[in-house]
Structure 1
Amino acid sequence: MSYQFTIVVPVYNEEDNLLRVEKELLAYIKIATKKTNVLFVNDGSKDKSQDLIEAICQRNLEFNYISFKENRGLSAAIKAGFDYVDTELVGYIDSDLQTSPNDFNLLLENIDEFDLVTGVRSNRKDSFTKNMSSKIANGIRRAFTHDGMDDTGCPLKVIKTEYAKRIPMFKGLHRFLPAMILLQHGKIKQVPVQHFPRMAGQAKFGLWNRLLGPLADCFAYLWMKKKYINYEVNKKG
């Protein structure tokens, strides 16, 4: 079966959410504007996530998985997803489902003209502390990258796979995906999407790693921007 779009779903200790992920992604696949499949990336979960993932993939042809030997972090899980997909488009959504898979269609409406389309969480349903720390972190990152994006932490994105595979991913740099596309002279856009409270499981990021991590990563990005190799082939024979 020829798919056009792969949704990468990073998973770390999300056993309480995975059946809902299955249900909502199956419902989305039926209305998706591109032929869609799903790739779970199990980031070394210590609960029953892997057993659930295997059961989901066994009963649904559209679902596949890869599983890490040990926990390597969200950036590594996203990078592995990008490495393993073979469709022309790749997206990702968090397994906590605080964003809706249905909103992928809003992003896909714009992907022909742009190389990355990211969601912007409107009317966020997070705590005051989480909202403020994210707002501050986004302001810091925007000052360093000049990417014009308001919410790079939004876990709902669609990218042309040829661009995604060229992203030099490092730990923490999943927050910099729009900026990484700009390094390739790609075009980016943000689109408002829905946001929901977390229904189950535990958040993986706290106050300090939302603020101090992004600040340190900004300096890593500046170094990378200076060293980044970008080229276009004019002729070959």
Structure 2
Amino acid sequence: MSKPQLSVVVPVFNERDNVAPLVHEITAALRGVADFEIVYVDDHSRDDTLAVLSSLKDEVPELRVIHHVSQSGQSTAVRNGVRAARGQWIATLDGDGQNDPADIPKLLVERAGAAPEIKLFAGWRVNRQDSGSKRWASKWANAIRARMLRDDTPDTGCGIKLFERAAFLELPYFDHMHRYLPALMQRAGWKTVSVPVNHRPRSAGVSKYNNLNRALVGIADLRGVAWLIRRAKITRTEEI
């Protein structure tokens, strides 16, 4: 079996009503554009998300399904999806349908014209479709993160990203790492760019986060990532 050029990794937890519409949107956006696969990672959903995904495999040959036997969180789901992926480049989407798969070709175009040292193309939600409190909390968190990490990224929490698989797998792994990919990529010596993308209201299901739990874990994570950046040492090598 030949390897695809691109793997689209989608972590999900209790998103049964969003699975089928998003899978079909991904195939509509990418068929004829790139040789791709779709890797869904079900984080031990308590609804019938897994059953919906299993039934979709019969009609969507590009679809693969990974299942967590215990709930492990979004970062672990993303990492396990990337580890299972066969493509050299990875596109990620949140499973709630708020990211638009039609933006993936835009990221591919950005990559095609970019310098080889750019390993991450991060989505930037310029027109957020969340509640006012969620937008305010995100703006506050982004400002603090930018001040502490200096990652020059206006929207590190956007779920749609395109990155090189090998570069991602070299990054330090920890819970919630998916929120700090630009800073971690830069720590590893690579460059990143932000690309404006579409953002949509959630059409089904409920958010798995609230502003308080995001803030509580974010404080500890920020301190940890800042420590990692301070302790980083990059040495380029050459063979003679």
1:228 to partner: Cα distance: 4.2
Q: What is the alpha-carbon distance in structure 1 between the residues aligned to residue 54 and residue 139 of structure 2?
A: 37
- TM-score, structure 1 length as denominator? 0.94
Aligned Cα root-mean-square deviation (Å):
1.6
Aligned residue identity for 1:187: K
Moved more, 130-139 or 221-230: 221-230
The answer on 1:160 being equivalent to 2:164 is yes
1:148 pairs, out of 140, 149, 152, with 152
1:58, 1:165 → 2: CA distance?
30
Q: Work out the percentage of aligned pairs sharing the same amino acid.
A: 30
Residue 104 (structure 2) pairs with residue 104 (structure 1): yes
Classify the secondary structure of the residue corresponding to 2:124: strand
Paired residue total:
235
Q: SS at the partner of 1:182?
A: helix
Quote the offset at 1:184 in angstroms.
1.3
Alpha-carbon shift at residue 230 of structure 1 (Å): 4.5
Give yes or no for contact 2:30–2:105 (8 Å, CA) kept in 1.
no
Deviation string 1:114-152 (CA, Å, 9 cap, x unpaired) is 210011112111110000001111111111110110111
Number of the residue aligned with 1:179: 183
The CA deviation at 1:6 is 0.4
Alignment of 1:46-195 (within 5 A): 46-112=46-112, 113=114, 114-195=118-199
Question: Aligned equivalents of 1:79 and 1:149: distance in 2?
Answer: 21
> What's the CA shift string for 1:180-207, capped at 9, x where partnerless?
1101111100011111100001101101
After superposition, the Cα gap between the structure-2 partners of 1:143 and 1:37, relative to the gap in structure 1 and judged at 3 Å, is: same
Are the aligned partners of 1:18 and 1:53 in contact in 2 as well (CA < 8 Å)?
yes
The gaps in structure 1 that reach 5 residues or longer are: none
Q: Distance in 1 between matches of 2:175 and 2:223?
A: 13
Q: CA contact under 8 A between 1:145 and 1:179: conserved in structure 2?
A: yes
Amino acid at match of 1:2: K
User: What's 2:17 paired with?
Assistant: 16
Measured after TM superposition, the shift of residue 227 of structure 1 is: 4.0
Q: 1:57 to 1:231 in 2, by over 3 A?
A: farther
Alignment of 1:2-41 (within 5 A): 2-32=3-33, 34-41=34-41
**1:107 is aligned with what amino acid?**
L
- Where 1:17 maps in the other structure, the secondary structure is helix
Question: Structure 2: which 5+ residue stretches go unaligned?
Answer: none
